[in-house]
Structure 1
Amino acid sequence: MSEKKTNSNRRDFLTGRVLKQAAEQAGDQLANYLNDATEDFAAPTGGSTIRLSTRAMATEFAVVMNPSPDPQVMHASDALDMLHELEQLMTVYKNDSEMSRVNSTAAAGPVSMDPRLFEILDQARQICLDTAGSFDPSSGPLITLWRECRQQGRIPSQQEIDNCLQHTGIDQFEFDNSKQTIQFRSPENELNLGGIGKGYALDIAGQFLTEQELENWLFYGGFSSILARGTHNQLPGWPIGIKNPLFTNQRLGTVLLQNTSMSTSGSSVQHFRHDGKRYGHILDPRTGWPVSELLSVTVIAPHAALADALSTAFYVIGIEKALEYCDNHSEVGTILIPPPTQGRKLSPVIRGIPNEFLFLDRDQLLSQ
């Protein structure tokens, strides 16, 4: 079925009788993120919602709204449609995408591009510089190497990693902000927005919703990126569940998000073992090897793209440097969860998140 026909069908669906029924039957489920009622730690809970979704960037994106008249639902549908255009702009998995065109031609000379693509690439470059290379949009060759080795049932050699490192690092890319062009040093260079693209898509689609004067909504992409605006269920924000990284079927707590974004990174799900050793999927771009100091990192930031990139960067740089970053950027908050020192109870390290917006299950925490 063509994308145009799919979008048309969704619009017809939303304007019909089924929309009214969906709103009436939404109940108290706020997607997978929102907190179910629990008496364990008096966390805020969600109420009735309307939810629309689409699949883009190899994951599910959804808009969750408070029940209200039809116009907000139509605008939400239009925002979801925008994601497919943004995917075509940023993906490296389609040969005809704008990002693939830049990767294939920028070694020959400065390349201009869609202003939105330059904007997010320049954001990624700046975050890379601000985090001393712990988030790096040029680390695609390393990611590819580890993926191929995993498929072969082995880990890469240091020589293979060193070969990749010769072609990574943001200093190998020349950005011209006045002309909005980028030039690569080598044909082996590559830019990849895998660690920030979903967040940027949420920011752009969320900006559209704001322009349409929608005040209260939650927009998420996959299981890691969330953008929230306004309030829900008479709460000062949207209640978002935080999983226990050791037991992912357990809810560690709830955070209230209002006019901000949240992203979580960790290796509890994506990892593999070789010769009895566990390797996570998050690489340190500076060394080419997986990192494992933390179980998970949650970042709250003004924009989803920034939250996305920083959750990866904080996972790489560890607790001390992550806290230092937050101390220097008061708009950023974080929940850092290291492995337990004894037993199975956790000791989260929290910075920049007010107590009135964070509710943790004390039974799962190590007494301080």
Structure 2
Amino acid sequence: MSDEAAGSSRRDFLTGRAVQRSVEQVGERIADELVDAAARQAPVASETVQLGKQAMACDFDVILNPGQPGAIRPASDALDVIDLLEDQMSVYRDHSELSQLNRRAADEPVEVEAELYALLRRAETISRQTEGGFDPTAGPIVDLWRRCKAAGRAPTEAEVQVALDIVGLQYVRFDDEQRTVRFSKPGVELNLNSIGKGYALDKAAEVLTENGVDDWLFHGGHSSLLARGSHGGLGGWPVGIRNPLFPDQRLGTILLKDCGMSSSGSGVQYFRHRGKRYGHILDPRSGWPVESMLSVTVLAPTAALADALSTAFFVVGLEKAAQYCHNETGVSALLIPPPAHGRRLEPVNIGMDDDILFLTPEDNPA
């Protein structure tokens, strides 16, 4: 979008013209990705106001209840926060703080801005708690598979091993007193792709909270969400869950309130080579795509935690996911392994209350 177009869009939002155009039925506006009001026995959504922008290679949207003119400016300001965070965290921008860290940390300790340092430490903790199912150093493996996909082939075992030689948090040294990061091996890098969108939602949503906006749904790329308050007297915000075998269909609805949500799946992003299907979610411990799971949806106190855990649970599987949810307050998950027979899915609910999860037989054809 050009600067002129962006400025015009902002003026429209702040003067109310865009608000008038944005109010419409959720079923017409965002049903495909966020809210599906047609589910039998599921909560039904009503009118909303939506503000959005593109960042981090996806769409970010703030969804509000109508009749809140005082919420428009804070929502617009919250979206602006995403740009600042992308400029700090993106490994695809040479000038970003994280890119500079990756270039220098093998040669010397690098001091890191306080909040980014805290996020890196949080990522390290989640990696340890999930036994490496989530790993912020997995960039070399991701890059290898991206290059091979573009070339129309799968990587060789030797190529995977070369990438794995520089993957692992054992090569990252944190100094909390000096707030520095140092790599003990050249080629190691930190990448926040599997937690960054959720973190951006958490930080951007602080603007809404600080300005007294109590009811909203915020999403990044439709797979990372954060909700506060309620919509239409429902006690939360209805969010659709995709069927991993038929991504254009929904499997059910979650009533999301005061927590983060993230979904990871292999139903949309994959490629085929010599008759074999390769999903895009990689096990950072083996370097190969995960084949034992179709999709994972996680609810957690923050969007960042939900983001990281949806990837980690996809990798570590049912038993480890259940163990984590049992030990951590406020974390629940819906895991869907491949069907044993036919197309009938058997979702495994780990801790989601029945009053927020709506799955019906009609959503899951045999």
Could you tell me the TM-score, scaled by structure 2's length?
Answer: 0.95
Give 1:26's aligned residue.
24
Pairwise mapping of residues 34-73 of structure 1 onto structure 2 (< 5 A)? Answer: 34-38=34-38, 41-73=40-72
Distance 1:366 1:338 in 2: 16
Contact 2:36–2:253 under 8 Å retained in 1: no
Contact 2:47–2:65 under 8 Å retained in 1: yes
Give 1:193's aligned residue.
192
User: What does the per-residue CA deviation read over 1:193-220, in whole Å, with 9 as the maximum and x for residues that have no partner?
Assistant: 1111000000000122111111000000
Contact 2:250–2:363 under 8 Å retained in 1: no
Distance 1:278 1:101 in 2: 36
Pairwise mapping of residues 62-101 of structure 1 onto structure 2 (< 5 A)? Answer: 62-101=61-100
Contact 2:75–2:208 under 8 Å retained in 1: yes
Distance 1:114 1:364 in 2: 46
Distance 1:205 1:354 in 2: 28
Identity over the aligned pairs, expressed in percent?
48
User: What does the per-residue CA deviation read over 1:238-282, in whole Å, with 9 as the maximum and x for residues that have no partner?
Assistant: 000011111111111101011001100011111111111111111
Distance 1:35 1:62 in 2: 13
Give 2:334's aligned residue.
335
User: What does the per-residue CA deviation read over 1:84-133, in whole Å, with 9 as the maximum and x for residues that have no partner?
Assistant: 11100000011111111100011111101222221211111111111111
**Which residue identity is paired with 1:76?**
A
Distance 2:245 2:320 in 1: 23
Give 1:210's aligned residue.
209
Instruction: Out of 239-248 and 7-16, give the one that drifted further.
Output: 7-16
Contact 2:333–2:350 under 8 Å retained in 1: yes
Structure 1's unaligned 5+ residue stretches are none
Distance 1:231 1:82 in 2: 23
For the structure 1 residues 246 and 80, does the alpha-carbon distance in structure 2 shift closer, same or farther, using more than 3 Å as the test? same
Contact 2:26–2:35 under 8 Å retained in 1: no
Contact 1:345–1:364 under 8 Å retained in 2: no
Structure 2's unaligned 5+ residue stretches are none
Contact 2:85–2:200 under 8 Å retained in 1: yes
SS at match of 1:286: coil
SS at match of 1:167: coil
SS at match of 1:108: coil
Instruction: Out of 150-159 and 6-15, give the one that drifted further.
Output: 6-15
User: What does the per-residue CA deviation read over 1:62-103, in whole Å, with 9 as the maximum and x for residues that have no partner?
Assistant: 000001232211100000011111100000011111111100
Contact 1:41–1:362 under 8 Å retained in 2: no
Give 2:225's aligned residue.
226
Residue 297 of structure 1 pairs with residue 280 of structure 2:
no
Distance 2:16 2:148 in 1: 52
Give 1:278's aligned residue.
277
**Which residue identity is paired with 2:281?**
I
- Residue 7 (structure 1) shift: 5.1
SS at match of 2:87: helix
For the structure 1 residues 200 and 316, does the alpha-carbon distance in structure 2 shift closer, same or farther, using more than 3 Å as the test? same
Give 1:183's aligned residue.
182
Residue 140 of structure 1 pairs with residue 139 of structure 2:
yes
Give 1:120's aligned residue.
119
For the structure 1 residues 131 and 229, does the alpha-carbon distance in structure 2 shift closer, same or farther, using more than 3 Å as the test? same
Distance 1:55 1:206 in 2: 16
SS at match of 1:49: strand
Task: Please tell me the root mean square deviation across aligned C-alpha atoms, in Å.
Answer: 1.7
- Residue 152 (structure 1) shift: 1.5
SS at match of 2:120: helix
**Which residue identity is paired with 2:181?**
I
- Residue 237 (structure 1) shift: 0.4
For the structure 1 residues 310 and 221, does the alpha-carbon distance in structure 2 shift closer, same or farther, using more than 3 Å as the test? same
**Which residue identity is paired with 2:237?**
W
For the structure 1 residues 358 and 321, does the alpha-carbon distance in structure 2 shift closer, same or farther, using more than 3 Å as the test? same
Distance 2:253 2:183 in 1: 43
- Residue 2 (structure 1) shift: 5.9
Give 1:310's aligned residue.
309
**Which residue identity is paired with 1:37?**
A
Contact 1:57–1:198 under 8 Å retained in 2: yes
Distance 2:231 2:115 in 1: 31
- Residue 45 (structure 1) shift: 1.3
Corresponding pairs, count:
364
Distance 1:331 1:28 in 2: 28
Contact 2:55–2:83 under 8 Å retained in 1: yes
Distance 1:112 1:274 in 2: 43
Instruction: Out of 9-18 and 43-52, give the one that drifted further.
Output: 9-18
Residue 354 of structure 1 pairs with residue 353 of structure 2:
yes
Distance 1:319 1:183 in 2: 34
Give 1:109's aligned residue.
108
